[in-house]
Structure 1
Amino acid sequence: MAFYSIGDVAERCGINPVTLRAWQRRYGLLKPQRSEGGHRQFDDDDLLRIAEIQRWIERGVPVGKVKALLDQGKAPEPGDWSALQEEMIGTLRQVSPAKLRAKIAAFCALHPVDILIDNVFEPLRNTLSLDRDTARAMRSLLDGILIEQAVSSLMEARIKAGRDALLIGWGIDDRTGLWLEAWRLSQRGWRIDVFAEPLELPHPEFFPGQQMLVWAGPAISPEQLQQLEHWQKQGYAIRAYGAANAA
């Protein structure tokens, strides 16, 4: 039987080791074995259970309620993340960066970053962008803390073994979205350097021998795909990156 370290599991499942430890210690969701040296060892059954936990969380079930559902053998149903979004809005209304920072850190300790980005952070940012004045100010505060969290994650990932890449926004306006994708990648074993300003046209010839990931938002255009294929035929290590094709 194959065994995996907590680092291996974190990379395979896209989950921060801190979250895995919380699932084990605080909620009893996982029971990894221990090596002779006392290190956690996960097997294939543990990986399947983690995938099931993720499916429940993706449907908006609070972590504290997942164990009972797993024990009952129930199948996940479509969920609702509005409760966490409302909790974030309540914190934003207090206009306290420290409290918002603590709330986001608490969420990240319980939920994979992937899931939070897709189901809490991005939907909340979209909602706040629909209004003016106060809501826009709240979104600006939120974006600042999210970028801060992303940078912290990138710095942590940089001191670990991983794959190196440049992340470049291509023809986009959402700079915070770019940093969120960098955060997502840092949780998946990538050591990312981010171009803070999106470019109208990436120039892979400027970065010979380096892996480049370009993010064009939720969907890349046919023209951009054609350009990518041209660069790839020229031998450049460049490819599209996005939530739908994150590796």
Structure 2
Amino acid sequence: MAWYTIGEVAQLCDINPVTLRAWQRRYDLLKPQRTDGGHRLFTDSDIERIREIKRWVDTGVQVSKVKKLLIEGSKEQQQDWRERQEEVLRYLQSGRIDRLRQWLKESTRHYPARTLVNQLITPLRQRLAGSQSTFCAMLGILDGVLINTIALILAASRKKPGHDALVVGWNVNDITPLWLEGWVACEQGWRVDVLAHSLPQLQPGLFPEQTLLVWCGAVSAPQQALQIQRWQEQGYAIRLCTN
């Protein structure tokens, strides 16, 4: 997932940048990151939140009251996603892989990839991480179903017009998030391939025809983010994925 400028977010969400600044400064509804030069940067999660705020405002709710609604809705949603995690766990524990595959297929019709990744898949994978053999087996089954499902989605998307992108892992051990990030990028209009193995060192010059979407883990090292910024300044088509 890439970072977005306020101008790009305004286009994606069909909203005036002045309004976005007001939502941040006056109503504390947004918390964008800042570049060294002070420019705002937004994530996919920020974009989802902006669209949710916009839905409330479009229904007639005053902006000053939206924050409370977001907090209340967040608590209810957290409980709902926890219940969904338990449902997936039951499929894994009972070995109902076909039912799990069908459940995932149905979920992709109702929720954006980023929402499923952040609210369901990543928390569930964290719960299964560890040395216990049963959990390791369940995590392996879940990852297999995820990668298989996402691979089909990515293959289908290549039949559509769009820009090519390659998801690359840079010095990470867990490769499943590469496929999750590829899935998110696919929904953003990219025609995605995923590099099967993480690279200990990254050389963007090896991929001259591709936009690189680089995954460095949930929290990238400062030197990695700085190096990617330098490559961008040198003209390379490269973006840092972040959740």
Mean Cα deviation higher: 223-232 or 197-206: 223-232
1:209 positional shift: 4.0
Q: Is the 8 A contact 1:165 1:191 kept in 2?
A: yes
- Equivalence for 2:170: 170
- Equivalence for 1:117: 117
Pair 1:195 & 2:195 matched: yes
How far apart are the structure 1 equivalents of 2:115 and 2:218? 16
- Cα deviation per residue 1:2-52 (whole Å; 9 max; x = unaligned)? xxxxxxxxxx57xxxxxxxxxxxxxxxxxxxxxxxxxxxxxxxxxx9x934
1:210 positional shift: 2.7
- Equivalence for 1:3: none
Q: Which one has a larger percent helix, Structure 1 or Structure 2?
A: 2
Mean Cα deviation higher: 103-112 or 146-155: 103-112
Counting only pairs closer than 5 Å after superposition, residues 27-46 of structure 1 correspond to structure 2 as none
Change in CA separation of 1:229 and 1:75 when aligned onto 2, cut-off 3 Å: closer
Q: Is the 8 A contact 1:209 1:236 kept in 2?
A: no
How far apart are the structure 1 equivalents of 2:108 and 2:208? 36
1:55 positional shift: 8.5
Change in CA separation of 1:100 and 1:54 when aligned onto 2, cut-off 3 Å: farther
1:197 positional shift: 0.1
Q: Percent identity?
A: 39
Q: Name the aligned partner's letter for residue 98 of structure 1.
A: D
- Cα deviation per residue 1:134-190 (whole Å; 9 max; x = unaligned)? 111111000000011111111121111222111100111110111111111111111
1:229 positional shift: 3.0
Q: Name the aligned partner's letter for residue 93 of structure 1.
A: Q
Q: Name the aligned partner's letter for residue 104 of structure 2.
A: I
- Equivalence for 1:218: 218
Pair 1:179 & 2:179 matched: yes
How far apart are the structure 2 equivalents of 1:185 and 1:212? 11
- Equivalence for 2:238: 238
Gaps of 5+ in 1: 1-11, 14-47, 57-72
- Equivalence for 1:96: 96
How far apart are the structure 1 equivalents of 2:69 and 2:234? 48
1:132 positional shift: 0.6
How far apart are the structure 1 equivalents of 2:208 and 2:100? 41
- Cα deviation per residue 1:46-76 (whole Å; 9 max; x = unaligned)? xx9x9349989xxxxxxxxxxxxxxxx9934
How far apart are the structure 1 equivalents of 2:124 and 2:131? 12
Say which of 50, 56, 69 aligns to 1:75.
69
Higher relative contact order (CA 8 A, sep 6+): 2
Q: Is the 8 A contact 2:212 2:238 kept in 1?
A: yes
Q: Is the 8 A contact 1:92 1:100 kept in 2?
A: yes
Change in CA separation of 1:203 and 1:119 when aligned onto 2, cut-off 3 Å: same
How far apart are the structure 2 equivalents of 1:103 and 1:117? 15
How far apart are the structure 2 equivalents of 1:54 and 1:156? 31
1:200 positional shift: 0.9
Is the partner of 2:143 in helix, strand or coil?
A: helix
Q: Name the aligned partner's letter for residue 99 of structure 2.
A: K
Change in CA separation of 1:115 and 1:55 when aligned onto 2, cut-off 3 Å: farther
How far apart are the structure 1 equivalents of 2:209 and 2:130? 42
1:90 positional shift: 0.9
Q: Aligned-pair RMSD on alpha carbons?
A: 3.0
Mean Cα deviation higher: 155-164 or 121-130: 155-164
1:234 positional shift: 3.0
Mean Cα deviation higher: 175-184 or 109-118: 109-118
1:218 positional shift: 1.4
Deviating above 4 A after TM superposition, structure 1's stretches of 4 or more consecutive aligned residues are 53-56
Q: Name the aligned partner's letter for residue 228 of structure 1.
A: I
1:211 positional shift: 1.5
Task: Name the TM-score, length of structure 2 as normaliser.
Answer: 0.68
- Equivalence for 2:34: none
Is the partner of 1:75 in helix, strand or coil?
A: helix
How far apart are the structure 1 equivalents of 2:215 and 2:107? 25
Is the partner of 2:165 in helix, strand or coil?
A: strand
- Cα deviation per residue 1:94-134 (whole Å; 9 max; x = unaligned)? 21221110111122222222111101111001001135111
